[in-house]
Amino acid sequence: MTDKPDTNDVDALLGDLTVDAGTADAPAKPRRDLSLMLRKIPVTLTLEVGSADVSLDQLMGLEHGSVVELDALAGAPLVIKVNGTAIGRAEVVVSGENYGLKVLELSDLDLLSLDTP
Protein backbone atom coordinates (compact mmCIF):
# COMPACT_ATOMS: atom_id res chain seq x y z
CA MET A 1 0.00 0.00 0.00
CA THR A 2 1.20 3.53 -0.65
CA ASP A 3 0.95 6.53 1.64
CA LYS A 4 -2.13 8.69 1.22
CA PRO A 5 -1.46 12.12 -0.26
CA ASP A 6 -1.79 15.11 2.07
CA THR A 7 -5.20 16.49 1.09
CA ASN A 8 -4.41 19.72 2.96
CA ASP A 9 -1.47 20.46 0.65
CA VAL A 10 -3.21 22.53 -2.03
CA ASP A 11 0.02 23.10 -3.97
CA ALA A 12 0.59 19.33 -4.28
CA LEU A 13 -3.02 18.67 -5.30
CA LEU A 14 -3.10 21.45 -7.89
CA GLY A 15 0.56 21.28 -8.89
CA ASP A 16 -0.32 19.63 -12.19
CA LEU A 17 -1.96 22.69 -13.72
CA THR A 18 -0.82 23.43 -17.21
CA VAL A 19 -1.11 26.70 -19.05
CA ASP A 20 -2.56 26.90 -22.56
CA ALA A 21 -0.54 29.18 -24.83
CA GLY A 22 -3.81 30.53 -26.24
CA THR A 23 -3.83 33.24 -28.87
CA ALA A 24 -1.77 36.43 -28.86
CA ASP A 25 -4.91 38.52 -28.16
CA ALA A 26 -6.31 36.46 -25.30
CA PRO A 27 -4.59 36.07 -21.95
CA ALA A 28 -3.44 32.54 -21.15
CA LYS A 29 -5.93 30.56 -19.06
CA PRO A 30 -4.86 27.68 -16.84
CA ARG A 31 -5.97 24.26 -18.07
CA ARG A 32 -6.30 21.54 -15.49
CA ASP A 33 -4.86 18.19 -16.44
CA LEU A 34 -7.61 15.99 -14.98
CA SER A 35 -5.78 12.74 -15.57
CA LEU A 36 -3.01 13.82 -13.19
CA MET A 37 -5.38 15.47 -10.71
CA LEU A 38 -7.65 12.41 -10.51
CA ARG A 39 -4.72 10.20 -9.52
CA LYS A 40 -4.25 12.24 -6.34
CA ILE A 41 -7.80 11.88 -5.00
CA PRO A 42 -7.82 9.55 -1.99
CA VAL A 43 -10.31 6.66 -2.14
CA THR A 44 -11.27 3.83 0.23
CA LEU A 45 -10.49 0.31 -0.96
CA THR A 46 -12.45 -2.48 0.76
CA LEU A 47 -12.75 -6.23 0.35
CA GLU A 48 -16.30 -7.49 0.85
CA VAL A 49 -16.67 -11.00 2.26
CA GLY A 50 -20.42 -11.18 1.72
CA SER A 51 -23.72 -9.91 3.04
CA ALA A 52 -26.91 -11.14 4.65
CA ASP A 53 -30.42 -9.74 4.79
CA VAL A 54 -31.75 -10.00 8.34
CA SER A 55 -34.82 -8.64 10.05
CA LEU A 56 -34.51 -6.19 12.91
CA ASP A 57 -35.77 -8.96 15.17
CA GLN A 58 -32.91 -11.25 14.07
CA LEU A 59 -30.45 -8.38 14.47
CA MET A 60 -31.67 -7.71 18.02
CA GLY A 61 -31.27 -11.42 18.79
CA LEU A 62 -27.55 -11.49 17.95
CA GLU A 63 -25.26 -12.23 20.85
CA HIS A 64 -21.69 -13.32 21.47
CA GLY A 65 -21.10 -16.53 19.50
CA SER A 66 -24.02 -16.01 17.06
CA VAL A 67 -23.35 -17.08 13.47
CA VAL A 68 -24.91 -15.29 10.49
CA GLU A 69 -24.67 -17.08 7.15
CA LEU A 70 -23.50 -14.84 4.32
CA ASP A 71 -24.43 -15.04 0.64
CA ALA A 72 -20.86 -15.87 -0.46
CA LEU A 73 -19.49 -19.38 -0.85
CA ALA A 74 -16.46 -20.30 1.26
CA GLY A 75 -13.31 -20.10 -0.84
CA ALA A 76 -14.94 -17.98 -3.56
CA PRO A 77 -13.16 -14.77 -4.64
CA LEU A 78 -14.19 -11.70 -2.64
CA VAL A 79 -15.44 -8.42 -4.09
CA ILE A 80 -13.01 -5.47 -4.28
CA LYS A 81 -14.81 -2.16 -3.82
CA VAL A 82 -13.64 1.44 -4.20
CA ASN A 83 -15.84 3.87 -2.30
CA GLY A 84 -18.60 1.24 -2.34
CA THR A 85 -18.41 0.45 -6.08
CA ALA A 86 -17.34 -3.06 -7.12
CA ILE A 87 -14.23 -3.00 -9.32
CA GLY A 88 -13.04 -6.60 -9.26
CA ARG A 89 -12.40 -9.78 -7.29
CA ALA A 90 -9.56 -10.85 -4.99
CA GLU A 91 -8.51 -13.33 -2.37
CA VAL A 92 -7.23 -12.61 1.13
CA VAL A 93 -3.50 -13.02 1.77
CA VAL A 94 -1.24 -12.30 4.73
CA SER A 95 1.11 -9.38 4.17
CA GLY A 96 3.55 -9.11 7.07
CA GLU A 97 1.40 -8.80 10.18
CA ASN A 98 -1.64 -7.54 8.25
CA TYR A 99 -4.17 -8.97 5.87
CA GLY A 100 -3.81 -8.03 2.22
CA LEU A 101 -5.54 -8.83 -1.02
CA LYS A 102 -4.35 -10.59 -4.15
CA VAL A 103 -6.14 -9.23 -7.22
CA LEU A 104 -7.70 -11.96 -9.36
CA GLU A 105 -9.67 -9.80 -11.78
CA LEU A 106 -10.33 -6.10 -12.33
CA SER A 107 -13.05 -4.24 -14.17
CA ASP A 108 -11.91 -2.04 -17.03
CA LEU A 109 -11.43 1.24 -15.17
CA ASP A 110 -10.90 4.09 -17.58
CA LEU A 111 -10.53 7.19 -15.45
CA LEU A 112 -8.64 8.92 -18.23
CA SER A 113 -11.81 9.01 -20.35
CA LEU A 114 -13.04 11.69 -17.94
CA ASP A 115 -10.27 14.00 -19.11
CA THR A 116 -11.90 15.64 -22.12
CA PRO A 117 -9.96 18.56 -23.62
pLDDT value of position 109 = 72
Those residues with Cβ within 8 angstroms of residue 74's Cβ, 6 or more apart along the chain or in another chain: none
For the chain, the structural domain boundaries read 1-42, 43-117
pLDDT value of position 94 = 94
Those residues with Cβ within 8 angstroms of residue 100's Cβ, 6 or more apart along the chain or in another chain: 92, 93, 94
User: Looking at the whole model, is its pTM more than 0.85?
Assistant: no
pLDDT value of position 114 = 47
Question: How far apart are alpha carbons 25 and 73 in whole angstroms?
Answer: 66
What confidence tens digit (pLDDT) does each residue in 36-71 have?
777 888 989 999 999 999 999 999 999 999 999 999
- DSSP SS3 for 48: strand
For the domain covering 43-117, report its CATH number.
Answer: 2.30.330.10
